[in-house]
């Protein structure tokens, strides 16, 4: 799994950082998504998928 | 012409109107007649609601909206100008205008920032509970607990003196009351704006180390815009969580097994808060959007200019997404509820609300293990007349 994030679309709701804090954080200034690990370990994949679904602005995607 | 009008009357305190469940069973989206005769739409299905809220072809600008219910019908053409969205009130703007304001604020409401507030929120909660214990019983839980906690927190965060709360709490009630006349709503809006404008001017003269002070310092916004931002954050910051704490406690008191889990099992609390948000869906009306172009949703063509009202209460009970969702179950995976909205307007303060509730419910229930209603359940006055649902008061004893 590879995570892609688009900070221009991100509205800083924080759902990703709330759901998988090991993989997602928010920047200090704008609160937009920061991906801590673009290729998450297998055991995190389901949680990452949940974060993608919960994201209100479609700012994160996985391939 | 559709015979359907927006149903608001609830048969039971915690459930959305029964008509909505019947409609949802038939289809996710329906033609509906608006208060001005407009033929628009009503959404009751979860997937359809997400699709509308995430789609930039739907506007949130109030001047485009047809009224789903007969409220503020005394609004005249001349008053419409006064009733316009104040500068800075970015909830009712579309992108990219909205983006500029939102981006200035998102850094202040991150998961991490809100976590840093936990010790202070615990302190505020503890102090409220101490006062409640000392006050003698019964007490109104809204006045003793549900309202002061989020009010104090948002005031401190923004830098609004809590002693000034009479300047905005009553007017907030006027503004969210569905029966308020337009003329009274305008007056209330003007009073709160005048107060906040004065506050911004004082911060301009003497910089403060709080959110509004920081925004003043940043030089990004003029005083009118700052007033609109402050207005939005202040109203949204106390009225919403206050009603979740009040109505949530009422729901738990009438579901003792669920209450016991929230009180005794710390691992249940985070999810339990999501379930209460889903089950109670305190957004009593809307959100409402207007199509900027022809858009197809779930096989129905919504034409440019048509208004769509989403019943979040119905959506959050959609059995396709939440099987058995008419029951409160604090162990159910409920995280994907739409109570905070979806799309670019999803609640900016949601992580603050979560922290307040994750601290508030268990602290209350542990401090008063014998907490119970002080009146028969049917005597609890419900906020059926407000756009934010909840309890007007909640008499409790222990």
Residues B93, B270: Cα–Cα separation, whole Å? 32
Torsion of CA A7, A13, A15, A16, to 10 degrees: 20
Residues of B in contact with A18 (CB under 8 A): 111, 351, 354
The H-or-E segment that residue A3 falls in is strand A3-5
Q: What CATH number corresponds to the domain at position A16?
A: 3.30.70.20
What range defines the domain where residue A33 resides? 3-58
A57/B contact by beta carbon, under 8 A: yes
Helix axes B350-367, B266-280, angle to 10 degrees: 120
Are the beta carbons of B8 and B17 closer than 8 angstroms? yes
> Encoding tokens for residue A14?
């924080």
What is the share, in percent, of chain B residues with pLDDT greater than 70?
A: 99
**pLDDT value, residue B83:** 67
Q: What is the pLDDT of residue B334?
A: 86
User: Is pLDDT at A38 greater than 90 in this prediction?
Assistant: yes
**A17 domain residue, yes or no:** yes
End-to-end CA distance of chain A: 6
- Judged by CB atoms closer than 8 Å, whether chains meet at A27 and B107 is answered as yes
Note whether B223 and B197 are within 8 A (CB). yes
Report ipTM for this prediction. 0.95
**Which residues, 6+ apart, have CB-to-CB distance to B180 below 8 Å?**
B71, B72, B174, B188
CB contact under 8 A, A12 and B351: no
CB-CB contact of B283 with B389 (8 Å): yes
Q: Which residues pair with B234 in a beta bridge?
A: none
Answer whether residue B82 shows pLDDT above 70: no
Cβ–Cβ of B346/A56 closer than 8 Å?
yes
Task: Give the pLDDT mean for A47-62.
Answer: 96
Say how far apart CA B398 and CA B396 lie, in whole Å: 7
A34 in reach of chain B (CB within 8 A): no
What is the per-residue pLDDT for B120? 97
Is the pLDDT reported for residue B90 higher than 90?
yes
Give me the count of residues in chain B: 398
Comparing B169-178, B323-332, B355-364, B385-394, which segment has the lowest mean pLDDT? Answer: B169-178
The pLDDT score that the predictor gives to residue B373 is: 98
Q: How many helices (H) and strands (E) does chain A have?
A: 2, 4
Is the predicted pLDDT of residue B74 greater than 80, yes or no?
A: no
- Closest to B102 (Cβ–Cβ): which among A11, A17, A21? A11
Q: What is the mean pLDDT of chain B?
A: 94
CA-based torsion, B23, B24, B29, B33: positive or negative: positive
Nearest-neighbour CA in chain B from A39: distance (Å): 22
Residue B99, Cβ neighbours under 10 Å: how many? 16
In the structure encoding, which two tokens stand for residue B218, read together? 């940043």
Contacting A with CB below 8 Å, chain B residues are 53-54, 102-103, 106-112, 335-336, 340-344, 346-348, 350-351, 354
pLDDT at B55: 97
Residue A12: which of B110, B336, B354 has the nearest Cβ? B110
Residue A35 lies in a domain: yes
Q: Would the CB atoms of B107 and A11 count as touching at under 8 Å?
A: no
A44 domain-assigned? yes
Question: What would the pLDDT profile of B133-182 be if each residue is shown by its tens digit?
Answer: 999 899 999 999 999 999 999 999 999 999 998 888 889 989 889 889 88
- Upstream peptide bond of B381 is cis (omega within 30 degrees of 0): no
| pLDDT (tens digit per residue) in B271-282 | 999 999 999 999
* Residue B140 near residue B382, CB atoms below 8 Å: no
What's the alpha-carbon Rg for chain A, to the nearest Å? 10
Query: What residues in A contact B55, CB-CB < 8 Å?
Result: none
Mean local confidence (pLDDT), B89-98:
93
Is the pLDDT reported for residue B79 higher than 80? no
How large is the average pLDDT for residues B289-315?
A: 98
Q: Provide the number of CB pairs (under 8 Å) joining chain A to chain B.
A: 65
Mean pLDDT of B187-196: 93
- φ/ψ of B32, rounded to 5, equals -140, 145
Number of domains composing chain A: 1
DSSP H or E segment with residue B262: helix B256-264
pLDDT above 80 (res B75): no
> How confident is the model over B57-68, as pLDDT tens digits?
999 998 889 999
| CB-nearest partner of A13 from B108, B336, B350 | B350
Q: Is residue A45 part of a domain?
A: yes
All residues at 6 or more sequence positions from B320 whose CB lies less than 8 Å from its CB, including other chains: B45, B46, B47
Asked if A28 and B107 come within 8 Å (Cβ–Cβ), the reply is yes
Q: Is the pLDDT of residue B71 over 80?
A: no
Q: Which of A48, A9, A7, A51 is nearest to A29 (CA)?
A: A7
Residue in B292, B266, B193 with CA at minimum distance from that of residue B234: B193
Q: Please report the pLDDT score of residue B166 as a whole number.
A: 85
Q: Within a domain: residue A63?
A: no
Q: What is the CB-side half-sphere exposure of residue B362 using CA atoms within 13 A? A: 19
The answer as to whether A19 is a domain residue is yes
- Please answer yes or no on whether B109 and A30 come within 8 Å at the CB atom: no
Which of B102, B111, B343 shows the shortest C-beta gap to A26? Answer: B111
């Amino acid at each position: 799994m590879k995570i892609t994030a688009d900070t221009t679309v991100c509205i800083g709701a924080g759902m990703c950082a709330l759901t998988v804090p090991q993989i997602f954080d928010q920047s200090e200034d704008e609160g937009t998504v920061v991906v801590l690990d673009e290729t998450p370990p297998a055991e995190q994949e389901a949680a990452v998928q949940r974060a993608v679904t919960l994201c209100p602005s479609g700012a994160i995607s996985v391939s | 012409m559709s015979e359907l009008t927006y149903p608001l009357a609830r048969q039971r305190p915690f459930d959305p109107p029964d008509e909505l469940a019947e409609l949802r069973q038939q289809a996710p989206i329906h033609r509906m007649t608006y208060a001005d005769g407009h033929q628009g739409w009503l959404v009751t299905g979860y997937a359809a609601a997400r699709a509308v809220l995430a789609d930039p072809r739907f506007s949130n600008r109030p001047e485009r909206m047809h009224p789903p219910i007969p409220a503020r019908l005394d609004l005249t053409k001349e008053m419409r100008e006064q009733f316009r969205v104040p500068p800075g009130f970015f909830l009712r703007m579309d992108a990219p205008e909205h983006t500029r304001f939102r981006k200035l604020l998102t850094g202040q409401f991150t998961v991490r920032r809100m976590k840093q507030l936990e010790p202070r929120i615990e302190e505020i909660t503890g102090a409220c509970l101490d006062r409640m214990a000392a006050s003698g019983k019964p007490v109104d839980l809204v006045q003793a607990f549900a309202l002061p906690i989020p009010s104090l927190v948002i005031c401190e965060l923004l830098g609004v003196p809590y002693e000034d709360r009479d300047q905005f709490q009553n007017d907030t009630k006027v503004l969210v009351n569905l029966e308020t006349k337009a003329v009274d709503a305008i007056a209330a809006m003007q009073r709160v704006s005048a107060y906040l404008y004065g506050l911004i001017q004082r911060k301009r003269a003497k910089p403060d180390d709080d959110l509004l002070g920081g925004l003043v310092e940043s030089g990004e916004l003029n005083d009118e815009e700052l007033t609109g931002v402050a207005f939005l954050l202040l109203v949204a910051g106390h009225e919403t969580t206050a009603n979740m704490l009040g109505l949530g406690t009422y729901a738990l008191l009438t579901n003792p097994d669920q209450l016991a889990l929230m009180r005794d099992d710390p691992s249940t609390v985070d999810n339990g808060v999501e379930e209460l948000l889903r089950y109670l869906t305190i957004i009593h009306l809307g959100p409402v959007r207007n199509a900027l172009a022809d858009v197809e949703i779930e096989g129905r063509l919504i034409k440019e200019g048509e208004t769509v009202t989403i019943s979040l209460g119905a959506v959050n009970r959609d059995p396709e997404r939440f099987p058995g969702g008419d029951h409160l179950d604090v162990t159910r995976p409920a995280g994907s509820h739409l109570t905070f909205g979806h799309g670019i307007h999803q609640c900016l303060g949601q992580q603050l609300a979560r922290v307040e509730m994750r601290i508030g419910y268990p602290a209350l229930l542990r401090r008063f293990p014998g907490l119970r209603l002080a009146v028969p359940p049917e005597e609890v006055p419900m906020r059926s007349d407000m756009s934010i649902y909840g309890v007007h008061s909640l008499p409790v004893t222990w």
